[in-house]
Chain A
Amino acid sequence: MAITVNGAPLELAPGSLAAILEALEYGDAIVATALNGDFVPAEERADTQVRDGDRVEILAPMQGG
């Protein structure tokens, strides 16, 4: 399936949001996720299916003012 991850197009096997994080080697990195603009809590990633055309955001702690 073709999805967008952090603004970049990616071709990945269909699966859950948790599987996508795994495939992208986030492992146990501290990140927060959103699917099509909606927050997906960490505990719901395994049950959240990502489909063709979906937009995934993976955010991490960063400097801020």
Chain B
Amino acid sequence: MPVFYGEIVESPLLLGTSLYPSPAIMAEAVRASACDIVTVSLRRESGSARTGQDFWGFIRDLGVRVLPNTAGCHSVKEAVTTAKMAREVFGTPWIKLEVINDAETLAPDVFGLVEAARILTDEGFQVFPYCTEDLGVAARLIEAGCEVLMPWGAPIGSARGLNNVYGLRSLRAHFPDVPLIVDAGLGLPSHAAAAMELGYDAVLLNTAVAKASDPVAMADAFARAVEAGRIGFEAGAMEPRDMAAPSTPVLGKAFLE
């Protein structure tokens, strides 16, 4: 079972709460996914509607742990300030740290990310950095105090799956004891299974479930996929080979020509 900053969680699936057809479907999808952690954000409270208060009540009723994000932050200062505001509102030291570099790809600004991670760790936060699979960046984030890393599979919301399997495998091999979560870019349950088969501890996704024709069924499919992928990894997969190797014994085959 994954352990994040000393907290044992049952499910290797973290689910976002955005983009669902309705709050009721979101809640049902969360239940179907069997996830223990959902991601949330902070936004301007809109006028007298107080939608944020309703949303927060809804999430609390689900009985899951929340991982607030700093989505949309393009500078270290913005991200750090947002994290502080999130800690007060959500009452958790956990923060999914996003420092975005590029508006088209939502690629992380890895330099700003390391700087913000250091500041937040020093202030007592437990940082989940949304990063790339770059080994040097990973090392810097760990030096900065991160005990979990969240490399992207592909750009957020792109449904491309694992763009760089080699890079993700390499990251896993270089940091065998650091909890690793593939965050972003997954579109299919098989993408999530593939991440788990690489030995990743968990996956984080949102759009793949929320934008499915049937989000609740898709949440269930992802729950099964991460479980299958995790067991598959633990079972130890065979090595691929280029040539065929018969599975039926050759010895004892009748001569029938």
Name the residue on B nearest A42 (C-beta). Answer: B88
Nearest B residue to A38, CB-CB? B81
Chain A, residue nearest B89 (CB): A32
- Please report which residues of chain B, range 18-69, place their CB below 8 angstroms from some CB of chain A when the two chains form the complex: 18-20, 26, 39-45, 48, 50-53, 55-56, 59, 68-69
Determine how close the nearest CB of chain A comes to the CB of B215; give it in whole angstroms. Answer: 13
Residue of B nearest to A60 (CB): B52
Given contacts A62-B43, A64-B16, A65-B18, contact A32 B71 (CB under 8 A): no
Which of chain A's residues has its CB closest to B38's CB?
A64
One of A32, A41, A58, A61 near B55 (C-beta < 8 A): A61
Interface string of A41-65 (1 = CB under 8 A from B): 1100000000000000111111111
Contacts of A37 in B (CB 8 A): 77, 81
B84 at the interface (CB under 8 A from A): yes
Give Cα A40 to B160, complex, Å.
40
Q: Count of A residues near B, CB < 8 Å? A: 24
> How far apart sit A22 and B241, CA to CA, in the bound complex (Å)?
69
Number of interface residues of B (CB under 8 A): 37
A-side contacts of B4, CB under 8 Å? none
| In the assembled complex, B126 has its CB within 8 A of some CB on chain A | no
Cβ < 8 Å to A, chain B residues 185-215: 206-207
**Smallest beta-carbon distance A15→chain B, Å:** 19
Task: Indicate which residue in A7, A26, A34, A61 contacts B40 across the interface (CB closer than 8 Å).
Answer: A61
Evaluate contact between A64 and B89: CB separation under 8 angstroms. Answer: no
Rounded to whole Å, the gap between the CB of A19 and the closest CB of chain B is 17
Q: Give bound CA distance, A42 to B84, whole Å.
A: 11
Q: Which residues of B contact A61 (CB under 8 A)?
A: 40-42, 52-53, 55-56, 59, 89-90
* B156 touching A65, Cβ below 8 Å: yes
B85 at the interface (CB under 8 A from A): yes
Known: A31-B45, A34-B81, A65-B39. A60 touches B207 (CB 8 A): no
Among A30, A31, A38, A60, chain B packs the most CB atoms within 10 A around the CB of: A60
Taking CB atoms, residues of chain A closer than 8 Å to B77 are 37
B68 CB contacts on chain A under 8 angstroms: 64
For residue B17, CB closer than 8 A to chain A, the reply is: yes
Nearest-Cβ distance from residue B210 to partner chain A, whole angstroms? 8
- Kindly list 6 other residue pairs between chains A and B, CB separation below 8 angstroms, not including A61-B90, A65-B71, A65-B184: A31-B52, A39-B85, A59-B42, A60-B45, A60-B50, A63-B18
Closest 4 CB pairs of A and B: A60-B52, A64-B41, A65-B16, A32-B85
